[in-house]
Amino acid sequence: MGQRFSVFSSKSDTAAEEYLAKPSGACCLEGTIHQGVSRGKWETIADVETYIATPPAGKENGNVLLYFPDVWGMFPNGLLVMDAFADAGYLVLGLDYFRGDPVWKHRKNRHDKTNPNFDYEAWKRKHTAFADEAVPKWVKAVSDRYNGDGVKFACVGYCFGAPYVCSELAKDTVSVGAFAHPAFLKEHHFENIKKPLFLSCSETDHTFDVPSRRRALDILEKGGKTYHYQLFSGVSHGFALRGDPSDPYQLNAGNVGWVKEQSLAGIVNWFDYWLAQ
């Protein structure tokens, strides 16, 4: 078993909006570090450390996937998930907008009191401010580098990364996007998207609860957006990245669990379909 341990406009109208998916909270401090060896490489792109996972020879589909991590940053689980997307044919790039300062370095879990002076709210404000500035520059740099005949871009975000997915789906570079167990989302994130969105969610999620999910779906439906909603019972926030290996429904010793794999497969199939159109 493994070891336990804003994208918002500055305008007053969006600043005054209530959250649908709340900022990362205590549920984001729960999880398990999974076993495995990542195979990607690191490179600095637009002044941000970037993990690059390359598809196996002969499996390349010619498309690029942008990965926006959760508050645990570029930890083993995230790297292994990026490798899994690469196994599906995508060239995957993920940026470390926490700059080597993920939340788990301060709190191993929500009960951890070893660092009583850690200010979670200040940590979120600091890294959100940086990410809000860095992500658009990074996306442009990646697009400039890899854009070419037939190349299309997708994006995926977990928790903290969800608003960056919605932001890109409101622009022109990315053709399709997905998020799992999101945080930091307001109504305008759903109202403004122009591209297909896949929502992978858990039944129990204090960050994106039932009323918020229903409101988000209402916005997408009334706005005529293209979307797919996936919901898993019996799991909570973080299921797609930080599942418990003591529960084979979530994860087993081989880092394979039904819920985790179905979330990833659903996202891959969504990307494959829309990028083929």
Active site residues: 159, 205, 237
Burial class from Cβ neighbours inside 10 Å (0-12, 13-18, 19+) for residue 69 reads: buried
Q: What DSSP designation does 18 have?
A: P
Q: How many CA atoms lie within 13 A of 25 on its CB side?
A: 16
CA angle 198, 201, 207 (to 5 degrees): 120
Query: Does residue 46 come out as left (phi exceeding 0), alpha (psi in the -120 to 50 range) or beta?
Result: left
Amino acid at 70: D
Coil, strand or helix: which one is 94?
A: strand
d(Cα 88, Cα 106) in Å, to the nearest integer? 34
